[in-house]
Each structure stands twice: as structure tokens, then as C-alpha cells.
Copies of this chain bind each other. A is one copy, B any other.
Amino acid sequence: MPDGFLAALFETGFLTPGGAPGIYGRGAAHERAVAGLTRIIERHGAPDHAEIMRFPPILAGDDFRRSGYFQNFGPLAGTIHCFCGDAEDHRAAVRLHDENEDFSIHQRAAGLVLTPAACYPVYGALAARKNLPAAGTIIDAASWCFRREPSSDPARQQMFRMHERVFAGAEDAAEAFRATWIDRAKKIAALLELPHEIVVANDPFFGLTGRLMARSQRAQALKYELQVPLTDPATPTACASFNLHLTKMSAAWGITLADGEPAFTACAGFGLDRLALAIFRHHGADPAGWPAALARAA
């Protein structure tokens, strides 16, 4: 099923091969879908009066460290390395490069990591503000995100776009923010005429300790996903997620409210590329066949 689906995506030009598994070019129809989806999400989120913040898809090393991503999801992270040698080292590395060998002998960690989720660069900016209102601050973030998961399933790409709303404030306001976005996501999925379900979920935590973390995350219902049948009808694909972080992010970055207490944070993230694939899967590559709400917004 995934392979036939990928072939159909290539045949219609919705995607173009990109030279490695999970790296694709997007055609005009795909980008119309992404633009329309973005407008529909923004329209539903208009009452948030969110502040727009856009970061490049790389995270400074200190933010990556605070996020705990390497402990929890080590193999999914992409660290960025740069050539740090002299002219002779460069000649040696170029010889390996030209022979199609690993030429990274003089590449050293640059203290930068590919952004794993659009909200990660936002926490440092929130921490810098101090004394946030309990009623809540809402940031609108969007980014290309990286996960090292080479796969022939087009729903599992190594780099993809996430549009997020990030909340910081009092505990009850964080829960209300998440409930509002779950409600909005159901309305958006209905407008897009996509079969869907909201289900409790967990992150793909790494290793033995990770299994315990996943169990605890589920037991506390900290993560919900909007799941849509996509490549495999038996296993629907998460196209959006709605997360409570309690005070985990606040403790890591030092995000505090006006009363000096740590903020509760939450986020609602939409996977734009997965949603575009869901549109292709359920409504085809031609915008003329798309639901009216999307065709109008695209």
C-alpha cells in the first residue's frame, strides 16, 4: 500500500523524488493544499490573537539541551556538523568526497541541531519575557521539522512542516487552550471531509526508560492526536497533536508567571504535509475535486 500510494503521488506530480527516502519535492497542487490548510487553521485560531514568531529550522545547542530531546528521542535528532580543518585537511576530505566515501573526517559538531518540533525555539523567547500573565500568552509558530526516520512511506518524511500554537499561562487556562484546539481540529477535519478520530497517544520515547515515559504520558492523557486513515487504512496516521507539558518546559527554560510560579505550557500542532497527503488520498490531486472550504481557501 505505501509503495502504490507513493507511485501515485509521483505520477500526478503531487510529489517529486528527492534523491533519498522521505525527501520529496512538492508540486503546485501540494503547495495549494498547504496554503489552504494554513489559512483554514489560522481562521479557526483567529480568536487566540496569537503573536507570530517564525524561526529557521535549526535550534541553538542550548535550547536543544534544555528540551531533553536527545535523552528522550536520541536517534531521531539531526545534529549539524561543519568542516573545521585547514587546507590540507580539506584536500583529504575532498578526496574521500570524490570517491563517494564518508568525507566527514574533519566535520565537527557546530552546536546546532535541526528543529524537531516548531514549538522548541519558542520556549527560550517566552522565558526571556518574565512575568507572563496567568490568562495566557499564545504564540503562532511554524517550521520545517526533522526526524531521522528514512522510510518509503510518504507519511513518514525526514523533513516536514508543522504549524503550531504554543500556550504559556496558568494550569486551567492551558487545559482550556488544549480543549479548544481539539474542538477546532474536529471542525477543521469535518470541513476537509476527512474521516478522523481524536485519540490518546504517546511520543516515540527511546529505550527502556522510554517505555515507562510513554505509559505515564498515556495514563495522564497528556497527548491527544487527530488521526486520519492515510497510507495504511488499518493504522491511521497522526495529522495533528494536542499536548500538555505541565511545567516540564517551564522548568527547563525558566518560564514564569507574574506571581513567580512556573507557567504551564501546552501546544497544538498540525502536520501540514501529512494533511496535504490526506487531501490527496481522500480527494485526489486536482483542486477541482477538493471540498469547497479548502478549494476556496487554497
Residues of the B chain whose Cβ atoms lie less than 8 Å from the Cβ of A75: 82-84
Find out whether the CB atom of A74 lies under 8 angstroms from the CB atom of B58. Answer: no
Residues of the B chain whose Cβ atoms lie less than 8 Å from the Cβ of A97: 65, 70-71
Chain B proximity mask over A77-89: 1 for CB below 8 Å, otherwise 0: 1111111100100
The chain B residue with its CB closest to the CB of A273 is: B56
Find out whether the CB atom of A58 lies under 8 angstroms from the CB atom of B159. Answer: yes
Interface flag for A152 (CB, 8 Å)? no
Q: Which 7 A-B residue pairs are closest in the complex by CB-CB distance?
A: A19-B60, A56-B159, A20-B60, A104-B109, A28-B52, A26-B54, A82-B148
Chain B CB within 10 A, most for which of A79, A128, A146, A207: A79
Complex Cα gap A295–B222 (Å): 43
Selected from B78, B107, B128, the residue in CB contact (under 8 A) with A82 is B78
Residues of the B chain whose Cβ atoms lie less than 8 Å from the Cβ of A159: 56-58
Find out whether the CB atom of B207 lies under 8 angstroms from the CB atom of A87. Answer: yes
Complex Cα gap A77–B106 (Å): 12
Residues of the B chain whose Cβ atoms lie less than 8 Å from the Cβ of A25: 53-55, 121-122, 125
Interface flag for A6 (CB, 8 Å)? no
Interface flag for A177 (CB, 8 Å)? no
Interface flag for A61 (CB, 8 Å)? yes
Stretch at the interface among A110-118, A235-243, A257-265: A110-118
Residues of the B chain whose Cβ atoms lie less than 8 Å from the Cβ of A62: 19
Residues of the B chain whose Cβ atoms lie less than 8 Å from the Cβ of A18: 55-56, 60, 121, 124
Interface flag for A266 (CB, 8 Å)? no
Interface flag for A227 (CB, 8 Å)? no
Find out whether the CB atom of B94 lies under 8 angstroms from the CB atom of A70. Answer: yes
Selected from B87, B102, B111, B206, the residue in CB contact (under 8 A) with A20 is B111
Interface flag for A103 (CB, 8 Å)? yes
| Interface residue ranges, A against B (CB under 8 Å) | 16-20, 23-28, 30-31, 51-63, 65, 70-71, 74-75, 77-84, 87, 90, 93-94, 97-98, 100, 102-104, 107-112, 114, 121-122, 124-125, 128, 144, 146, 148, 157-160, 206-208
Complex Cα gap A155–B123 (Å): 25
Complex Cα gap A52–B33 (Å): 13
**Min C-beta distance of A7 to chain B, whole Å:** 15
Complex Cα gap A14–B158 (Å): 30
Residues of the B chain whose Cβ atoms lie less than 8 Å from the Cβ of A23: 55-56, 58, 60, 112
The chain B residue with its CB closest to the CB of A102 is: B109
Q: Known pairs A16-B125, A23-B112, A90-B207; list 9 more (Cβ under 8 Å).
A: A18-B55, A18-B121, A19-B63, A23-B55, A23-B60, A31-B52, A56-B160, A79-B104, A80-B80
Complex Cα gap A2–B207 (Å): 46
